[in-house]
Structure 1
């Protein structure tokens, strides 16, 4: 791994205002479909959770984990997640449930639009079927749950009024903190996290993520702000995560041509975003923007890391 250039990404962030965004690249409906379809014809295996064989809930868990979303292990457990949606309002990525045993929910699949679902069936393995099949599935349909909104996810945007972000202003159940970014990168790169001496005045050796924070600093992936702080509980923007990931994974420009209306090429940040896009790590939003000032959600952090990890040297 080549020597890193330090990233002085500071902690004085923006006041937040929420608004509905267009399809967010890392969790778009097309990503759901393409991720699920790569396993078509994988055989059915009771208890299976890998590409060598899936049962129904093992398949849905695998697909959603690749999208950065954690599901319960069983079909019954997954039925207890998310929000109920009617059949008339199904969206791509909704989980659809069936009673095939006569004893309640016993099968789950992923809705992919146009009345179709993809799932691991005991007779055919991973395959596409109609949820309204009058001979089988239509008679056994129980309901659907939405565990993630791939059509219209709410993100946080920064407005031009600087102020220190207070933890109470951000839902850190949804958005990733800088400490979580450090942990994810350290894990993906296999960095040594045994040392807990970070050198940051606001991260004591007893901090639960001190090892990861010390590791990313040592690797030259992060430096502190002008006051020598890491700001572990602050959020990180999408433009900042682009800088971090290009640096951490030694990314170089790939073969995919992509531009964004809110990205200025020729700047360090802009070029980092283009490098990410050129390697298929991000596709931006449906409106042609990248969302440079939007804060990174936990879901998108996981997906960005998963995609970038393919380039570990």
Structure 2
């Protein structure tokens, strides 16, 4: 994907003379939401611009940067960018702005459809909220269209979808999960002789994989393979974390729309939620079939340890 640049607006004359909405080689709305959601759970940090911690405009700037769009750093700069959009015409990817300080624009998020926006909340970190919530509805200022994020092509062959390579600079492989868990649990990883047919002793994570298998935390598939270079879903991760940290179900009131009773992962996911290791995606769903990102992996392990 070629990089798409969005120049900041320095004067109202420039804004009137050449309003811009970048739609050249635009990412799809699915790519936009996937990119934004991968940071859910990252804590709020004043002045933060990385996955270690975001403030509101640092988060929006990072998401757009990941998609090749250069966005101004501050909330006020972002509010002066792009084209104004009415609340009734919001589309996925539009920036929504709020007056939370009583002194004008002071908070920004990204509209993700269904009346919701994802943002870096000072109290909850990166999360999803509803525009209709009284707090946000009473402080809503307006929205700006920065780029056009078209809907994905509806018809895709299954083979094409399966052939898309997983970006392991973003997502966690099963081997990486084993590596980080072994470190967190301080396991002995000196034994590199794995029972899994696809994990050779020369694999740099063989010791970690073997240690976790002996602890009963990781099991292979029906063919005796570990699949070290495959991603791991959030549902699978829930099971691994519960087993790894021997988590016990606490008083539980949190339920997820995509993990209902009868689902094999129901007990594991609810256990994880009851121990406050996860809050889900913030929209009522856990994202059971979504692949775990490296950011989420780090957050899961840190919360489970604490």
Q: Give TM-score scaled by structure 2 length.
A: 0.55
Contact 1:262 1:291 in 2 (8 A): yes
149, 165, 181: which is aligned to 2:177?
A: 181
Task: Give 1:213's aligned residue.
Answer: 209
Structure 1 distance, partners of 2:35, 2:170, is 17
243, 246, 250: which is aligned to 1:247?
A: 243
Deviations 1:172-197 (A, max 9, x none): 11111000010111111111101101
Within the alignment, does 1:300 sit opposite 2:286 as a pair?
no
Deviations 1:60-106 (A, max 9, x none): 59x95479xxxxxxxxxx9xx97753233659xxxxxxxxxxxxxxx
The CA deviation at 1:300 is 0.5
Contact 2:238 2:268 in 1 (8 A): yes
Deviations 1:180-237 (A, max 9, x none): 0101111111111011011111110000111101110111111111111110000111
Q: Identify the structure with the greater strand proportion.
A: 1
Structure 2 distance, partners of 1:248, 1:293, is 20
43, 54, 71: which is aligned to 1:32?
A: 43
Deviations 1:229-277 (A, max 9, x none): 1100001111110111111111111235201111112544111101111
SS in 1 for 2:237: helix
Structure 2 distance, partners of 1:244, 1:202, is 20
Structure 2 distance, partners of 1:234, 1:186, is 18
The CA deviation at 1:169 is 1.8
164, 169, 174: which is aligned to 2:165?
A: 169
Closer/same/farther in 2, CA of residues 114 and 181 from structure 1, 3 Å limit:
farther
Closer/same/farther in 2, CA of residues 243 and 206 from structure 1, 3 Å limit:
same
Q: How does 1:18-167 map to 2 (within 5 A)?
A: 20-21=33-34, 24=37, 27-28=40-41, 32-33=43-44, 36=45, 64-65=51-52, 84-86=70-72, 87=74, 88=76, 150=126
What is the root-mean-square deviation in Å for CA atoms of aligned residues? Answer: 4.1
Structure 2 distance, partners of 1:281, 1:22, is 21
SS in 1 for 2:265: helix
176, 191, 195: which is aligned to 2:191?
A: 195
Structure 2 distance, partners of 1:21, 1:64, is 15
Q: Give TM-score scaled by structure 1 length.
A: 0.54
Deviations 1:132-184 (A, max 9, x none): 9xxxxxxxxxxxxx9xx9468xxxxxx99699956x52111111100001011
Contact 1:26 1:282 in 2 (8 A): no
Mark the runs of 5 or more structure 2 residues left unpaired by the alignment. 1-29, 55-61, 80-97, 107-119, 129-155
